[in-house]
Amino acid sequence: MWVTNCRNYSGESSNIRKRFGNTEHPLFFLVLSNSEIATVPGISGAGSSQKYIQHTPAADAEIVSHGKLKTIRVMSDAPSGAATPAVLTRAGLNLSQSAHLLINSGLQIIPGVPYYDLRAKHGYDIRIRPGVPDAHTIRDASRKLAGCCDCDLAVIGETIPGGTTTALCVLRALGYSVNVSSSFASNPSTLKERVVREAMQGASVNPGSLQRDPMRAIKLFGDPMMPCVVGLTEGLLNSGKDVVLAGGTQMGAIAAVLKELNVSDNLVLATTKYVFDDTSARFIELIEALEIDAFSAYPDFSKSSISALQKYEQGEVKEGVGAGGAMALTCVAGFSQDAYRREVETVVQKL
């Protein structure tokens, strides 16, 4: 099995095909956001260059939805040339034939494909001012949206450059001492910690002091993706749907918020083996602290002839755009690792 159960606290089946094998109407949500934190030089490896980093979510949206760029003229591949995880997600949705919904939760650059607009503002620089002043409004709107969605399994992914740093700050405010991953092969942990320290000092908040007020932690230190995913998850779980958070440490931060809101029961996280194997992220420590079921997907791009995919094996990118969740859907649909990898290569070649 190329999607494995790495941690199981619920007692549900550890075989992902058995666990979600009765799914008839899966729906993949992709939350699109921007944050000013992405403009801090060296903090994010998203996008082909620092100049175009904020174009990344819009480009990812077009690739996931259309299979190629439509109005965005800048590829969202990493500066190293590693392929954007949007191609991994596109391949998973192609094979599993899962419907998808794009949600604009604070975009600065608008994609040329259909999306649901929450009319949210982009995220601000958390060192200077609250990152998401309208966090409660975004959460409420997302909860209502979830109630209108027809599915039996919801898989929620995100694309927001700089999101691991805002995730780290929210985790620190909630009292978690773990680290976060990075799209760079070499995690700029020192830079991220400095940004977090400056933000918390500026807001006069100590680590752990907002444990009982997780939405304030998002308002002060988060990004507009976070309250959207929180609201979606609440609404979907309350309506009896299964929810998979598709991502690494950013979705771990969401799970931490949901735990404090007492809505994390039966929540599942699906990410890639590249995140689980990232020792700088200490991801397993976070999963164990949250006691959440987690799955790890491994496409094994060492077998690919495409260098942009091989870079994942060298620690580049690792995850993003809900790639781990899209792979989980592919596995549930009965496709092998080899079949998935071939589909990813096809998507890359068509770009």
Write down the H helix ranges in the chain. 16-20, 56-66, 86-96, 135-146, 163-174, 189-202, 214-221, 225-238, 249-260, 273-276, 283-290, 307-310, 323-332, 337-350
Taking a C-beta distance cutoff of 8 angstroms, is the pair 53, 76 a contact?
Answer: no
The two structure tokens encoding residue 132? 């998401």
Q: Find the CATH number of the domain harbouring 108.
A: 3.40.50.10210
Q: What's the whole-model pTM score?
A: 0.96
Q: What is the pLDDT of residue 331?
A: 97
Q: What is the pLDDT of residue 45?
A: 59
Domain that holds residue 28: 3-350
Cα gap 187→157, rounded to integer Å: 22
Per the CB < 8 A criterion, the answer to whether 167 and 180 are in contact is: yes
> Pick from 37, 4, 57: which is nearest to 277 by CA?
4
Length of the chain measured in residues = 351
C-alpha torsion sign, points 251, 254, 260, 262:
negative
Q: Residues 6 or more apart from 18 whose CB is under 8 A from it?
A: none
Q: Which residues contact 227 (CB under 8 A, 6 or more apart)?
A: 105, 132, 135, 136, 138, 139, 142, 215, 218
Cβ count within 10 A of residue 216 = 18
Instruction: Find, among 198, 219, 194, 249, the residue nearest to 42 by Cα.
Output: 194
Note the pLDDT of residue 48.
Answer: 53
**C-alpha span between 226 and 113 (Å, rounded):** 22
Residue 80's pLDDT is what?
Answer: 79
Q: Domain count of the chain?
A: 1
Q: pLDDT (tens digit, 0 to 9) for every residue of the chain, 351 residues total?
A: 999 999 999 989 999 999 999 999 999 999 999 999 999 988 875 655 677 899 999 999 999 999 999 998 887 767 778 899 999 999 999 999 999 999 999 999 999 999 999 999 999 999 999 999 999 999 999 999 999 999 999 999 999 999 999 999 999 999 999 888 877 777 788 999 999 999 999 999 999 999 999 999 999 999 999 999 999 999 999 999 999 999 999 999 999 999 999 997 889 999 999 999 888 888 899 999 999 999 999 999 999 999 999 999 999 999 999 999 999 999 999 999 999 999 999 999 998
Q: What is the pLDDT of residue 43?
A: 84
61: which 2 tokens? 């949206």
What does the alpha-carbon distance between residue 44 and residue 337 come to, in Å, rounded to a whole number? 29
Q: What is the pLDDT of residue 281?
A: 82
Report pLDDT for 49: 61
pLDDT at 228: 98
